[in-house]
Amino acid sequence: MTDQLPLNTPKGKTRVIQVDPASVRISPLNPRATTVHDPKGLGRLALELREVGQINDAHGETAADGVIELLAGSRRCAACMLAKLPLRIRVHGELSRTEAIAIAYRDDREALTPCFWDLAGGWSRLTADGAFKSDADLARAVGIDKSTLSRGLAFRKAPDAILDAFADRGDISLSQWIDLAPLVEDPDTRARLIKRAAIIADKGYAAPRVAAELKAAAAGKAEIKAIEVRNRHDRVVAVIQPDHRGGFAIKVKPMAEAHPSFRLEYARLVNERFVEIIKSWFDREA
């Protein structure tokens, strides 16, 4: 994304106003034009707005029908509605389409940068409306290199059967997609990815875990199931999750309200079970 305000606005062409957030709409040029914002994240932002005010301006332009369209600031707008506060907008006048796009994709506002999924969606929409003669022109307009643009466009076209393995597509990073993209494009490995994705789709794994599972599936490695740790009442107190690289993630049942003796008991059970696993884990067949 571009890293600075991409135009020298003529004097008198920019004004800062406060408006009812319900009176504006999101510009189709905004990379978050179709994004459904996380309610918990909006709640935190709304609380911050009530406590310290709006630090960063939203940015917009006036549409032909007189309504202000937000080029940037859709989260702030939604949070202001939630907090019942006015939205402060820097309204830019007489922008060219290229200038408007540059503002929509600039990332120097110290606000939350759109995720890779949202950015890729914005690039896809700009590609579809034929506003640019080439991908190189579009990449320059949004402040990225052509290879990143190509990866983003491919990302938005990836099979839902694979992307559904992720609890939230917005959590998928560019680096994760760079690793997965060639596996998705290859027909043989794509079939393995789809099969593994169907198995893990409802497990709520974090994005790094899903990416690791999919890469393991492409390499022909079987899913590694979590190992439960149970107490004397046969209740699960922790799970130990091995990975294909010889690492282990241990998740213990919340202990904030447990008696101190129970906490020590959980730790002892986890330690004993983990030692048992280590003794034989690396001697098993891969």
Q: Name the residue with tokens 């004097």.
A: 11
What are the residue ranges spanned by the domains of the chain?
1-113, 160-218, 227-281
CA gap 41, 161 in Å, rounded: 27
pLDDT of residue 109: 53
Q: Supply angle C-alpha 236, 240, 243, rounded to 5.
A: 150
pLDDT tens sequence for the chain (286 residues): 444 344 455 445 889 999 999 999 999 999 999 999 989 999 999 999 999 999 889 999 999 999 999 999 999 999 999 999 999 999 998 888 889 998 998 865 556 788 999 999 999 999 998 878 899 999 999 999 999 999 999 999 999 999 999 999 999 999 999 999 999 999 989 999 999 999 999 888 889 989 988 998 998 877 777 889 998 888 898 998 887 678 888 988 888 887 888 889 889 999 999 998 888 888 765 4
Geometric angle at alpha carbon 27, from 23 and 31, rounded to 5°: 130
Spatial separation of the C-alpha atoms in residues 213 and 95, rounded to whole Å: 46
Q: What's the pTM value of the predicted model, to 2 decimals?
A: 0.71
Residue 64 near residue 48 (C-beta atoms within 8 A): no
Cα distance between residue 34 and residue 121, in whole Å: 8
Which conformational region is residue 91 in: left (phi greater than 0), alpha (psi within -120 to 50 degrees), or beta?
Answer: beta
- The gap from C-alpha 272 to its chain's centroid, in whole angstroms, comes to 37
Strand boundaries in 2-103, DSSP class E: 14-19, 25-26, 58-62, 68-72, 87-92
Q: Which pLDDT score, from 0 to 100, does residue 112 have?
A: 76
The pLDDT value recorded for residue 107 is 63
- 201 and 164 Cβ atoms separated by less than 8 Å: yes
Domain 1-113, CATH among 3.40.50.20, 3.40.50.300, 3.30.450.40, 3.90.1530.30:
3.90.1530.30
Contact criterion met (CB below 8 Å) for 80 and 21: yes
Residue 27 and residue 70 in contact, taking contact as beta carbons nearer than 8 Å? yes
What is the residue type of 220? Answer: G
Tell me how far the alpha carbon of residue 80 is from its chain's centroid: 22
